[in-house]
């Protein structure tokens, strides 16, 4: 393992490409799981009375 930033960025790109090439049904199932997780994090954040994490719809959506 190294802290070669260029390699880290390239590795992230490769991972995203690999995800993009998964079957659509698998990717839609991932969306289901992502949404569950986001809701759980928000609920936990509100219980802790901390500011809510960035909303996905404020990031990359629609």
Partner 1 sequence: MSIARVIRLINQMQADGVVERYAIGGAVGATFYLEPVATLDVDIFVAFRQQPGEIITSPSPIFDYLTARGGIIEGEYIVIAGWPVQFLPPTSPLVEEALAKAVTVEVEGTPAQVFTAEHLAAIALQTGRAKDHARLLQFIEAAVLDTRRFQALLQRHGLVERWQAFERKFLQGES
The site for partner 1 (CB under 8 A) is made up of 13, 16-17, 19-20, 24-25, 27-32, 34-36, 38-39, 55-62
Q: How far is the CB of 9 from partner 1 (least distance, A)?
A: 11
Q: Which two tokens stand for residue 25?
A: 């049904």
DSSP single-letter state for residue 62: -
Q: Helices 24-47 and 5-20, interaxial angle, to 10°?
A: 120
Rank residues 47 and 62 by Cβ distance to partner 1 and give the closer one: 62
Q: How far is the CB of 21 from partner 1 (least distance, A)?
A: 9
């Amino acid at each position: 393992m190294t802290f070669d930033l260029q390699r880290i960025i390239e590795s992230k790109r490769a991972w995203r490409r690999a995800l993009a090439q998964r079957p659509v049904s698998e990717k839609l199932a991932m969306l289901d799981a992502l949404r569950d997780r986001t809701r759980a994090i928000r609920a936990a954040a509100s219980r802790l009375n901390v500011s809510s994490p960035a909303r996905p719809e404020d990031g990359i959506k629609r």
